A and B are shown apart, each in its own frame.
Chain A
C-alpha cells in the first residue's frame, strides 16, 4: 500500500492532494487509542501498513508532510519520559502539527488541578489531539470521556502502552513479516518477555498484540514479578491467533531455549523496597540477559528493550549493543508508528475523525 505522501518540499504545504485514502476494506474506526485490546487484527494491520508509508516519508531528505498542518497536538506527560515524549513530538512535527508540550510538574497540575480540569483547559486552548502519559492505570479513559478530540495513551500506570506495542510489532514484522501481507506473521515464533512483567504496561500491551500476531508467547521473571499472569494465561488471551500460546514461567532456561525474540524489561529499584526482589545483583545473575543465556536461543534471535535500559542489570551491555539487538530500530520505528497513528486518528483522511 502506498499513501503517496508528498514531502512539503514538493507541493505547497496546504496541498493535501497527495494523500490517497487507505483501501476501503480497511478503515480506521477508533476515535482514541487508549489500549490495544480493542484493536482487531485488521486495525493492527492497517496501523502497520500506514507505518510503512510513514517510513517512506522518514526516508526522504525532508521528512515532513502536511497531514496535520495547523492542528494542535498537546503532549501532556505526568511522568518523566524522554524517549516517548520526544518520539511523539517528532512524529507530530513531521506531520506539520503544532505541538504543545506540558510537563505536569511545571504546570498547575502541581498546584492540585484535577485531571478533568486540566483536560478541559487543554481543550479550551485548542488541542485537537491529546497525547497523555499518566502514572495511574486508566487515567486516559477519564480524559477521553471529557475531551472533544482524540486521546492517545502514551502509557498509563501498569496498564497499557499501545504505541510501544505497535512499534514493537512493527519491528518484528520487518524481520518476520515476509511479503508484508496481512498474515499473522509471528505464528510459530517463540517470543519471550523477560523481567518485571507485573509493573510493565509494555508487557501488558504486547501480550495482546503479540498473541494476535500468533506468537508462542512466554512471560519470564521471578515469580513475585509475574503475579496474576498465570491466571490470565489459564483463561487465554482474547483475540489471540489460532496456535498462539501464552506460557508463564520463572525458569529462564526454558524460556530462552530456542527463542526467536527476547524482549527485556526494565527493572526498577523501587521493587526491592516493596519486598519483591532481594537485590539487583541477584536479579542480574538470575535473570539478566547475558550473551551466555542468549546463546541458548536461536542463532538469529532478536533482542528488544523498550528503554530506558539498566545495562548490567536486566541486559548486559554487549547484548544491548550486540548484533542481535534491534533496540535502535525500535526507536526509529517508534516515530513512524506514532506518525501513522496520529494520521489515522486525526489526519484529514483518517476515518477516526
Chain B
C-alpha cells in the first residue's frame, strides 16, 4: 500500500507552524494533495482522532550492528523506528568495531540497504580511533563516506584538547561534533543520580556537576574554536540536568553555534522509578513544584532496583526532568532524541549495579511525549516539532529532504490514532532490545501507518 486518502484528519505541520483539520491524499507514495479545511468542512475534527504528522527524525540511536547483533540489527532497529513513527534514524558509532573509518560506515549502509527498510539510516562517525579518545578518527574520509557528524557517544570526547582538534577539523567538513557530556572522574562507579533516592537505595551517586562541568568545558572550547573556524558546530546530546541546560541557554544567548537534545526518559521519568515509583515526572511534584516523597505517599508500586532503569546519564530527580521539559518548550533544547539503547536479557537480568546502561526507546518516544501532552505539560505542536523540525534543524542540510507535507514530494509522514492506546510488551516491540522502562504500560497515540521516503514503512497489523 502506497496510497492514503484521509479526508478528515488533524494535520500538524511544524514547518509552517500550522495545525488543524485537513485532507491528505497520497498516491503511489507521492503526496498528491494537502488541503486545510475550514468552516463547515472542518467541523467535528479535532486533535483527539486521526492525527497526521511529518515523519520523525531520531538524532541518537544505537543499532548495535556490527558487533552486537543479538541486541539489535540494522533491520530490527529500523523496523522499531518505523513502528515508533521515525522515518530517519541517526546511528551512533559505538559498534564493534567502532565506526571510525569508512569501511564500517559502508558495512552499515549495506546492512540498511539489505534490510529493505523504507526508513533512512544516517550515521555518525567516531571522533577518535576506536573511540579511545587518543587520536582523531578519519574525519575527512568519514565525511566523504556520508556521515552526518562525529561522536564518541557512549563516552565523552575524552579531553578538551582532543575536542578542540575535533571541532576544528570537523568544522572544515561542515559537520558537528556530537558530545556525550560527562566527566568520567566524577562518575566512576556511579549508579544513580546523586540525591535522596540514591542515598536511600545505597546507590553510588552520579553528581549533576559531572554533566554540567563537561558542558561547560565543551562550550568553553567551542567559544575559542569558532574564532579560528567559524564552521565549527557542537551538538550536546541527552542533557539531563537543569544546570547544564542553563549553560546551553546562556551559550545560545551569546550566539555560540551549539544545539542540544533531551530524551523522553529524562524528561518524563525520574530517579524515583529506581525505588519502585512509576509516576511521570510532573506527577512527582506537588502543586507548588516541591518534590513528593514516594515512600510517604504510597507511590512505590514496583520492586526497586529494576536493572532496565540503569542509564547514562541516569534518571534524575523531578526538578531536572521538568527542566528538560521546560528547555524543550523554550527552545533551549532543539530536539528530542531517543538514545535508543537495546540490550539482551544477559545484560539486563542482573544486579542493578552490573546492568548495562541504556534503555530501548525508538518505539515509545511518541507515547511518552504524548503522556506529557495529555497531562497538559507540553503542546502537541511542540512535541511533534521536537521529533521533526527540531532534529531537522540540528541536521541542517544533511537530512536531504524537506520536513512537512509538500505536494509532489515523496510521502514522509506518520498517521496516528491519537485517541487509541497500545500496551508496551515484549511482543509489541519490534526492537530486539526489550529493555523498555515502560514495559507493561499503556501509552496513548497508536501509530497506524508510517510512510518513509514514499514507501510504507509500517502499518498497524490491526488497522
Q: How far is the CB of B38 from chain A (nearest CB, A)?
A: 53
Partner of A158, one of B202, B293, B354: B202
How long is the Cα–Cα vector from A157 to B205 in the complex, in angstroms?
Answer: 13
Partner of B196, one of A136, A156, A204, A232: A232
B305 within 8 A of A: yes
Question: Which chain A residues (146-166) contact chain B, with CB distance < 8 Å?
Answer: 156-160
Q: How far is the CB of B189 from chain A (nearest CB, A)?
A: 9
Enumerate chain B residues within 8 angstroms of A158, measured Cβ to Cβ. 202-204
Q: How far is the CB of B291 from chain A (nearest CB, A)?
A: 8
B195 within 8 A of A: yes
Q: Closest B residue to A117 by CB, please name it.
A: B349
Q: Closest B residue to A228 by CB, please name it.
A: B199
With A141-B304, A231-B195, A238-B293 known as contacts, the answer to whether A159 contacts B350 (CB < 8 A) is: no
Partner of A227, one of B194, B303, B354: B194
B411 within 8 A of A: no
Contact with A along B342-357 (1 / 0, CB 8 A): 0000000111111000
A172 within 8 A of B: no
Enumerate chain B residues within 8 angstroms of A312, measured Cβ to Cβ. none
Enumerate chain B residues within 8 angstroms of A229, measured Cβ to Cβ. 199
Enumerate chain A residues within 8 angstroms of B201, measured Cβ to Cβ. 137-138, 159
Find out whether the CB atom of B202 lies under 8 angstroms from the CB atom of A156.
Answer: yes
Enumerate chain A residues within 8 angstroms of B350, measured Cβ to Cβ. 114-116, 142
With A115-B351, A235-B196, A238-B295 known as contacts, the answer to whether A228 contacts B305 (CB < 8 A) is: no
How long is the Cα–Cα vector from A311 to B351 in the complex, in angstroms?
Answer: 34
B114 within 8 A of A: no
Find out whether the CB atom of B354 lies under 8 angstroms from the CB atom of A228.
Answer: no
B198 within 8 A of A: yes
B200 within 8 A of A: yes
Find out whether the CB atom of A231 lies under 8 angstroms from the CB atom of B352.
Answer: no
How long is the Cα–Cα vector from A238 to B277 in the complex, in angstroms?
Answer: 15
How long is the Cα–Cα vector from A164 to B353 in the complex, in angstroms?
Answer: 23
A37 within 8 A of B: yes
Q: Closest B residue to A229 by CB, please name it.
A: B199
How long is the Cα–Cα vector from A145 to B302 in the complex, in angstroms?
Answer: 11
A345 within 8 A of B: no
Which of A114, A137, A204 has the most chain B CB atoms closer than 10 A to its own CB? A137
Q: How far is the CB of B208 from chain A (nearest CB, A)?
A: 12
Enumerate chain A residues within 8 angstroms of B353, measured Cβ to Cβ. 136-139, 157
How long is the Cα–Cα vector from A145 to B304 in the complex, in angstroms?
Answer: 11
Enumerate chain B residues within 8 angstroms of A133, measured Cβ to Cβ. none
Find out whether the CB atom of B196 lies under 8 angstroms from the CB atom of A157.
Answer: no
Partner of A37, one of B191, B198, B295: B295
Contact with A along B287-322 (1 / 0, CB 8 A): 000010101100000011101000000000000000
Find out whether the CB atom of A114 lies under 8 angstroms from the CB atom of B295.
Answer: no
How long is the Cα–Cα vector from A239 to B296 in the complex, in angstroms?
Answer: 8
Find out whether the CB atom of B199 lies under 8 angstroms from the CB atom of A136.
Answer: no
A134 within 8 A of B: yes
A299 within 8 A of B: no
Question: Which chain B residues (259-311) contact chain A, with CB distance < 8 Å?
Answer: 291, 293, 295-296, 303-305, 307
With A114-B349, A115-B350, A141-B304 known as contacts, the answer to whether A236 contacts B293 (CB < 8 A) is: yes
Contact with A along B168-199 (1 / 0, CB 8 A): 00000000000000000000000100111011
Find out whether the CB atom of B199 lies under 8 angstroms from the CB atom of A137.
Answer: no
Find out whether the CB atom of B295 lies under 8 angstroms from the CB atom of A228.
Answer: no
Question: Which chain B residues (346-382) contact chain A, with CB distance < 8 Å?
Answer: 349-354
How long is the Cα–Cα vector from A227 to B199 in the complex, in angstroms?
Answer: 8
How long is the Cα–Cα vector from A228 to B196 in the complex, in angstroms?
Answer: 6
Find out whether the CB atom of A232 lies under 8 angstroms from the CB atom of B303.
Answer: no
Find out whether the CB atom of B205 lies under 8 angstroms from the CB atom of A134.
Answer: no
Enumerate chain B residues within 8 angstroms of A235, measured Cβ to Cβ. 196, 291, 293
Partner of B351, one of A142, A160, A228, A232: A142
With A37-B295, A116-B350, A228-B198 known as contacts, the answer to whether A138 contacts B205 (CB < 8 A) is: no
Q: Closest B residue to A135 by CB, please name it.
A: B353
Q: How far is the CB of B65 from chain A (nearest CB, A)?
A: 25
Which residues of A are at the interface with B, using a C-beta cutoff of 8 A? 37, 114-116, 134, 136-139, 141-142, 144-145, 156-160, 201, 204, 227-229, 231-232, 235-236, 238-239
**Can you name 27 A-B residue pairings with CB atoms under 8 Å?**
A116-B349, A116-B350, A134-B351, A136-B354, A137-B352, A138-B201, A138-B203, A138-B353, A139-B351, A141-B304, A144-B303, A145-B303, A156-B202, A157-B202, A157-B203, A157-B353, A158-B202, A158-B204, A159-B202, A227-B199, A227-B205, A228-B194, A228-B198, A232-B196, A238-B293, A238-B295, A238-B296
Q: A138-B203, A156-B202, A235-B196 are in contact. List 17 more A-B contacts (CB 8 A).
A: A116-B349, A136-B351, A138-B201, A138-B353, A139-B305, A139-B351, A139-B352, A141-B305, A158-B204, A160-B202, A204-B200, A227-B199, A231-B196, A232-B196, A236-B293, A236-B296, A238-B295
